[in-house]
Amino acid sequence: MSLETLVEKLPGVAEPRLFTQQDFDGYVMTTYARFPLTLERGAGCRVWDTENREYLDFVAGIATCTLGYAHPAMVEAVTRQISKLHHVSNLYYVREQGELAKWLVEHSCADRAFFCNSGAEANEGAIKLARKYAHTVLNIRQPVIITAQASFHGRTLATITATGQPKYQKNFDPLMPGFVYVPYNDIEALEEMVAAVDSGERQLAAILLEPLQGEGGVRPGDVAYFQRVREICDEKGILLIMDEVQAGMGRTGHYWGYENLGIEPDIFTSAKGLGGGIPIGAMMCKSRCDVFQPGDHASTFGGNPFASGVALAVCQTLENEDILSNVRARGEQLRAGLSTIAQKFPDLIAEVRGWGLINGMELKPEVELTSPQVVKAAMDEGLLLVPAGPKVIRFVPPLIVSAEEVESALQALEKALVTLTK
């Protein structure tokens, strides 16, 4: 279905005219390869398009709509805050921002929080904080941050440089200096890189990793690997930064992905699910790394009353309704169902993996079928999914998804695969 059913109400015109896909492409830059679907409304884990067709949403704004759509807690928070105070400058104290920071600190290993608007901005803040720490505490003149191949940390110049995927960096050089890359979950390669960096003119300042690589194919971190990473950082006095933008806020069955690994980072970031779909990001750190001073970093919109008030409602709902228990139970159900489907299609599916409600199904490299093709076929069956690279299908439903909805999603996926393999 195209955008031809979207209606634009023009001033002074009695009958509204159709706003077509061609109109859309004429006004909006083509930075996305969009699926031919226009969503109009949602409730819970379901959305409806402009032709009133219903879909079960296992995309959730790409792991963002934590409580699904039209959740009463969010509706109440949005309504209350927009009618009271939606934005003020960070030149003043913002009560809602302070309350949100308090909740995050009390439910994590952090001591302080800085608020911004997105995951990329949160990671930018973490990179800046690590660099200042390197200069002012470690006396490093040319700091280096190690990141992982197949990682994803954002779209700004610094964060695409931190991202260990050349396809995101192409044609945007010169890139930011100060980053080197190692294979994910490969401790030998990491130790070799640590030694190589410190043998040159530059010095290692931090290691930046995702607890589970999302865009890189839904690859969970290895416990032994991350515990050794923590040891290396402690031995050298450098910082461990965890990018929790996709894995955080309860998606793995814990509030934070690092809790699955038995370690604590020095700095970690959040966005996506933090506001349940309202834009907000956060960079959090231990007090010993909080070297920022007034003027070092800022954000006009970061932590404003509206975004902070809604994010706090999302956080409190996760806690008060024990949604983490649902994440763990539904995640086990989903992985078991995906594994059963994989057994039915042994020539097609290579692996099922994930934590909680962030899961991936990888297609075998030798098959011609791609993840976007599976996503499109599932859409035809009323199920929304999202690729995580050309061969991995990602399952990231709202954290309130029910057992019945997980079963419906599995049935729709199997129908789609049958259609594709006829």
CA atoms of 245 and 123, how far apart (whole Å): 9
Chain centroid to CA 59 = 11
Q: Which amino acid is at 131?
A: R
Catalytic residue list contains 173? no
Would you state the pLDDT for residue 219?
98
Would you state the pLDDT for residue 15?
53
Residues of the chain whose pLDDT is less than 70?
1-18
CA atoms of 370 and 387, how far apart (whole Å): 9
Would you state the pLDDT for residue 19?
74
Contact 406, 53 (CB under 8 A): no
CA atoms of 263 and 165, how far apart (whole Å): 26
- Which domains, and CATH codes, for the chain? 35-64+323-420 (3.90.1150.10), 73-320 (3.40.640.10)
DSSP E strands, 192-278: 203-209, 212-213, 219-220, 239-243, 267-270
Which stretch of DSSP H or E encloses residue 60?
helix 60-63
Q: Name, in order, each residue with C-beta under 8 angstroms of 22's C-beta and a sequence gap of 6 or more.
A: none
Q: Which one of the listed residues 243, 266, 268, 306 is annotated catalytic?
A: 243
Q: Which one of the listed residues 152, 226, 306, 395 is annotated catalytic?
A: 152
* Burial bucket for residue 157 (CB in 10 Å: 0-12, 13-18, 19+): middle
What is the pTM for the complete model shown? 0.93
- With b for 16 or more beta-carbon neighbours within 10 A and e for fewer, the 231-255 pattern comes to ebbeeeebbbbbbbbbbbbbbbbbb
Q: Which one of the listed residues 272, 306, 391, 395 is annotated catalytic?
A: 272
- With b for 16 or more beta-carbon neighbours within 10 A and e for fewer, the 288-326 pattern comes to ebbbbeeeebebebbbbbbbbbbbbbbbebbeeeebbeb
Would you state the pLDDT for residue 16?
56
DSSP per residue, 9-56: --TT-SSPEEE-HHHHHHHS---S---S--EEEEEBTEEEETT--EEE
Q: What are the tens digits of pLDDT across the range 196-235? A: 998 878 899 999 999 999 999 999 999 999 999 999 999 9
Residue of 229, 189, 196 lying closest to 210 (CA atoms): 229
DSSP per residue, 184-203: TT-HHHHHHHHHHHHTSSSE
3-state secondary structure 119-147: HHHHHHHHHHHHHHHHHHCCCCCCEEEEE
Catalytic residue list contains 243? yes
Joined tokens for residue 77: 């928070």
> ∠ CA(242), CA(283), CA(253), 5° rounding?
55
CA atoms of 303 and 150, how far apart (whole Å): 30
Would you state the pLDDT for residue 21?
76
Joined tokens for residue 234: 């402690």
Catalytic residue list contains 286? no
